[in-house]
Structure 1
Amino acid sequence: MFIDVIFKLVEVFKSNFFTILSLAIVSYVIQYYINFFKRSRLPGPLPLPIIGNLHQIGDDFSSAAETFRQKYGDLIEIYMGSSRIVVISRIDLAEKVWGPLSIKNTKFIMRNAHSQGVDELGLGTKGMVLNRHLESWEFNRKFLVQSSSSPSFLRESIKLECKVNDEVFKYWKIMEKERMPVSVPDWMDAIGVDVVVTTATGKRMNSTAELFNKLNINGQKSEMQGIWQNGMKFAESIFTYNESMAFMMLLTPFIREWFPGFKNLNKKYLDNRDWINAELEKMISERRKEIENTPLDQPLEPTILTILLTTNTERDLEKISVGKRDQPLENDQLSSILREVFTGGLDTTSNTLSFVIHYIAKHRDVYLKMREEILNVYGTLDNPNILLESFEKFKYMEAVIQEAIRIFPTVAMISRAATEDVDFDGYTVEADTTVFTNLKALSHNPKYFKDPEIFNPDRFLDKGSIVKYSFLPFGNGVRMCPGRYWAMVQMKTFLIKLVSTFDLELVDKNAEAKYRYATVNRPIDINIYIKSRKD
């Protein structure tokens, strides 16, 4: 009898399973939207349960945010799965987020809301970019600012970059003879890796040599041998790590770990994290042994890794200390700072240079003005002796860099998160909500920039004409980019060498700058012909 009842119940359940499931789904959806509309809402697209607005955002968050801005306004909300984020596109709102210049005065000291994915990447309490532990963040930031902006470090950086550039230009002259186009993004990535890794560690990476050898021009091979091997693999891993930041920060573990496609990406990014960490540990271990085997009376070169390893030791090069930190750095601190030197110093600088090259190749008059400025500063275009002290004289070159960043920012969206509720236009944005600033919308606003789509470096020659918070190339306030001085030195050094050595021509003279979104805007399909300067 009991068995018969069980069988009947099973039959009933089987025949009504889809009806029950459908009712459950409908009930869930109704309850989701009841709760959703009860909240204090900002303008924005209606999200779907579980996935939010992911179906509308696609693989280009920057472009989607601009589309939403045009439809819903300068203050909107978007859902990444169940995570609510806010996007602002007005300078008065940007001032609220970026204006305060001290930790005590700002409500937006955090870079993002708490995220399990950020913790999984090892960034939640380490490094600088997404570190929410203020004591360690403050120390790491002060360390990087002081070490990467010290004159001794910057002079060494210029010297090493000139050496890398001279090697690259030998390759380019071989390509010139063969009338081979230069793939600018590929070369800027390789140069960036060699310059940043060599400057940071003191040991040569061989990415540019690898790139040249891959071209296989009449069997010619580079004679340069780097100490760190697999330079291009290391570079690609750093770029992948940067790409993973937005993915891990914005998507919930449920979506990352269970949704098809996302699951594979999640594994790829975490495996990449482990590979980079292992490489960093090798770099640190080898350099530590070299320092231990170096006599105390023998000076050490001022690389970032050396400064890291000697901080708070008898060989301390920079005497950097914050608060009660008076002990040598632990291995995880060393790794986190060194990793952010690479992640922050490679992608943004190399990408920006690619966009700069696109615009100066397209605008011959701008290129010639840059050349004239170099001649005025150094008195020659034939292998000028590049000095740190002369960089402040390159006003026009700096204007060119700034205009390229304005018209096509590598980082178009920068996030911050408040530590308490904040009022925006009468709307309450709750504490620990990630707020993105749409930098491209600010810098393309015709109210502040006449003809914003036109490349015109002259607009930056009068600094007083730039409305505050309309242009934030390195952010502002307490979370301003700590490596900005080094980045400008790298870009100016390369451009001085480039402009004084070659003429440039776009392969497609009508080509517009294009990009692929990967947390930052990575340039694609920028190809030029180079020709040795004759005049």
Structure 2
Amino acid sequence: MFIYNIVKMHYALQIVAAVVVVFFTVKFLSVFRKRRKLSWIPSAPRLPIIGSLFEVGENSTEIITNFIRLTDNPAKSVYLEIGFDCGVVTRDHDLIEFVLNSTQLINKSWDYQMFHDWLGTGLVTSGGTKWKKRRRIITPAFHFSILIQFIESFDQNGKKLIEILSNEGTKPEGIDIYSYITNCALDIISESAMGVSVKSQENQNKEYVDGVKNLLSSILDRSFSLWKVNPYLFPLTSDYWYQRKIVKSLHRFTDTVIENRVKSLQEKTEKNVEQDVDDVGKKKKLAFLDLLLNSSIDGKPLTKEDIREEVDTFMFEGHDTTSFAISMGLYLLAKHPTVQTTTRNELNEIFGNDKSKPTTIEDLNNMKYLELVIKEIIRLYPSVPYILREITKDTEYKGHTLPKGTSIGMYIYGINRDPTYHKDPEAFIPERHLDTSSKNHFAYIPFSAGPRNCIGQKFAMLEMKSLISKILRNFELLPDPSYEPVLAMNAVFKTLNGVRIKLQKL
């Protein structure tokens, strides 16, 4: 019996060894095929097994400058291998235009799976038919007539922000403005997406607010670990269980909001109350959640999980991106007093000396120079530094082949600062956006472009105008001479040391 068990174990080990050999052989052949077909793109130096990991960088800060260095060649692109993963990073205008304009190359790469536990396969992370159907039903939520309903939310939350900054923000040593902006943006998007406020500025619902921040931080850390980024190995780490605990908490909060919203709509239906009018006859603001609750795909209503995916997606995309852009914008305005003065002069023409006057949609539309300023802010500091797409079948491009299974990383931060497309690219010059004659439209893509462009870009622009204008009407912005932002790159840009400026009450 003992000998029999030994023989059985021997054969089992042989089978395991054979499976491992086959697995690695298939992977190697796949990499070799892609490497051969992409030989027209300059390749980064690589080592066995780990590939170009050291060339890319070992953390989220190094990767920013390394991508610039690696794409500094005539092709403005680089072929990378890390382990058995192959991809291209590019800041070439024509290749970016080709990929982003395609109606076929719309699938996100596998990297976005790190968000699946939280966001599922919602609008940002899904692809193919599901993405097209979701985009179709969600697009009406960003119609102008819907967006103007949120102007009051921008204004009221901005007013609360000014009150807090007036009490806490005028310290001689300066403040981290990023934390204040993030709390305000969370309140705005929660009201817009879910119809309720998480009251982040009032330190309420801290479990949800802190959960969002901690989860994003953990995902950032995971993205730069060869061990954790592997979906098969990640469950063996403590971070996996840490993230799952946070996700459960976030989903519990969102589920409660959805259930309460459904119950409220049912009660109004039973009482024959108009659902778009409140108790005093005033037209009720419709949250994105209301649209989802009344939507269907192929004749079937969205499931609770479907709705939660999109609400959570809005909560993530709708606060993290604008928080970064607004904060970096205030940092740039503090460093460029002439631009700040010109912007404030425009605001004085619109509002006069009334600092408390509510902001209307007409006011926002009249902020022409501020719009140029914001466009320049998001050129220098795009909230999303790069976009990844997966090539789902061999695709011809300029006589070459983009092989199936390749990730194409379009380096927005890189092309937005490329001297080939932008004169004096490191300078903060809002007036450059007055010139619309350039044919290189895909050299400025802070909101992406093509079929998968940012669906919320109008919402974001209105929110940025509202909050930046309110701060400039109440404070003079001054730089902190000792501060320089330390950027970190993930699905969205971050700063590892906040965004420090000084505020002087006007």
TM-score, length of structure 1 as denominator length:
0.79
Shift of 1:498: 0.9
Shift of 1:399: 1.2
**Aligned twin of 1:215:** none
Q: How many residues get paired?
A: 471
User: Equivalences for 1:512-531 in 2 at 5 Å?
Assistant: 512-523=484-495, 524-531=497-504
C-alpha distance in 1 between matches for 2:222 and 2:356: 40
**Aligned twin of 1:236:** 213
Shift of 1:484: 0.8
Shift of 1:271: 3.7
**Aligned twin of 1:218:** none
Q: Which amino acid aligns with 2:273?
A: D
Indicate the SS of the match to 2:78. strand
Are the equivalent residues in 1 in contact too, given 2:194–2:288 (CA < 8 A)? yes
Are the equivalent residues in 1 in contact too, given 2:335–2:478 (CA < 8 A)? yes
Is residue 190 of structure 2 the alignment partner of residue 197 of structure 1? yes
User: Equivalences for 1:83-98 in 2 at 5 Å?
Assistant: 83-98=85-100
Shift of 1:325: 3.1
Q: Which amino acid aligns with 1:109?
A: I
Q: Which amino acid aligns with 2:266?
A: E
User: Residues 232-275 of structure 1: CA distance to partner in whole angstroms, max 9, x if unpaired?
Assistant: 314414634764895799943345356xxxx3444433443333
Is residue 162 of structure 2 the alignment partner of residue 147 of structure 1? no
Q: 1:177 to 1:417 in 2, by over 3 A?
A: closer
**Aligned twin of 1:112:** 109
Q: Which amino acid aligns with 2:155?
A: C
**Aligned twin of 1:185:** 178
Is residue 285 of structure 2 the alignment partner of residue 301 of structure 1? yes
Shift of 1:231: 4.9
C-alpha distance in 1 between matches for 2:111 and 2:383: 25
User: Residues 296-334 of structure 1: CA distance to partner in whole angstroms, max 9, x if unpaired?
Assistant: 32425311122222336xxxxxxxxxxx63333210110
Q: 1:376 to 1:326 in 2, by over 3 A?
A: farther
TM-score, length of structure 2 as denominator length:
0.83
User: Equivalences for 1:3-18 in 2 at 5 Å?
Assistant: none
C-alpha distance in 2 between matches for 1:183 and 1:344: 21
Q: Runs ≥4 in structure 1, deviation > 6 angstroms?
A: 247-250
**Aligned twin of 2:260:** 286
Q: 1:187 to 1:530 in 2, by over 3 A?
A: same
C-alpha distance in 1 between matches for 2:31 and 2:382: 38
Are the equivalent residues in 1 in contact too, given 2:171–2:503 (CA < 8 A)? no
Shift of 1:115: 7.6
Q: 1:286 to 1:245 in 2, by over 3 A?
A: farther
Is residue 232 of structure 2 the alignment partner of residue 206 of structure 1? no
Pick aligned residue for 2:234 from 256, 259, 265: 256
**Aligned twin of 2:401:** 428
Are the equivalent residues in 2 in contact too, given 1:83–1:251 (CA < 8 A)? no
Shift of 1:412: 1.5
Shift of 1:458: 0.8
**Aligned twin of 1:17:** none
Q: Which amino acid aligns with 1:53?
A: S
Q: Which amino acid aligns with 2:493?
A: N
Shift of 1:73: 5.0
Shift of 1:488: 0.8
C-alpha distance in 1 between matches for 2:338 and 2:286: 39
Q: Quick one: percent identity of the two aligned structures? A: 21
Q: Which amino acid aligns with 1:297?
A: V
**Aligned twin of 1:59:** 59
User: Residues 106-145 of structure 1: CA distance to partner in whole angstroms, max 9, x if unpaired?
Assistant: 331212259865655563xx311120242x3223223333
**Aligned twin of 2:12:** none
Larger radius of gyration: 1
Are the equivalent residues in 1 in contact too, given 2:101–2:451 (CA < 8 A)? no
Unmatched tracts of structure 2, length 5 or more: 7-16, 278-283
Moved more, 415-424 or 107-116: 107-116
Q: 1:459 to 1:242 in 2, by over 3 A?
A: farther
Indicate the SS of the match to 1:436. strand
Q: Which amino acid aligns with 2:108?
A: R
C-alpha distance in 2 between matches for 1:157 and 1:176: 26
**Aligned twin of 2:125:** 130
Q: Which amino acid aligns with 1:303?
A: A
User: Equivalences for 1:29-428 in 2 at 5 Å?
Assistant: 36=32, 39-42=36-39, 43-57=42-56, 58-60=58-60, 61-70=63-72, 73-100=75-102, 106-112=103-109, 123=120, 126-134=121-129, 136-151=130-145, 153-176=146-169, 179=172, 181-210=174-203, 228=205, 230-237=207-214, 239-240=216-217, 243=220, 251-257=229-235, 263-294=237-268, 295-298=271-274, 299=277, 300-311=284-295, 325-424=298-397, 426-428=399-401
Are the equivalent residues in 2 in contact too, given 1:242–1:343 (CA < 8 A)? no
**Aligned twin of 2:9:** none
Are the equivalent residues in 1 in contact too, given 2:476–2:503 (CA < 8 A)? yes
Shift of 1:480: 0.5
Indicate the SS of the match to 1:293. helix
Q: 1:370 to 1:34 in 2, by over 3 A?
A: closer
Are the equivalent residues in 1 in contact too, given 2:375–2:430 (CA < 8 A)? yes
Unmatched tracts of structure 1, length 5 or more: 7-20, 101-105, 211-225, 313-323
C-alpha distance in 1 between matches for 2:242 and 2:221: 9
Moved more, 438-447 or 178-187: 178-187
What RMSD, in angstroms, separates the aligned Cα atoms of the two structures? 3.4
Indicate the SS of the match to 2:198. coil
Are the equivalent residues in 1 in contact too, given 2:78–2:90 (CA < 8 A)? yes
Moved more, 44-53 or 517-526: 44-53
C-alpha distance in 2 between matches for 1:365 and 1:400: 12
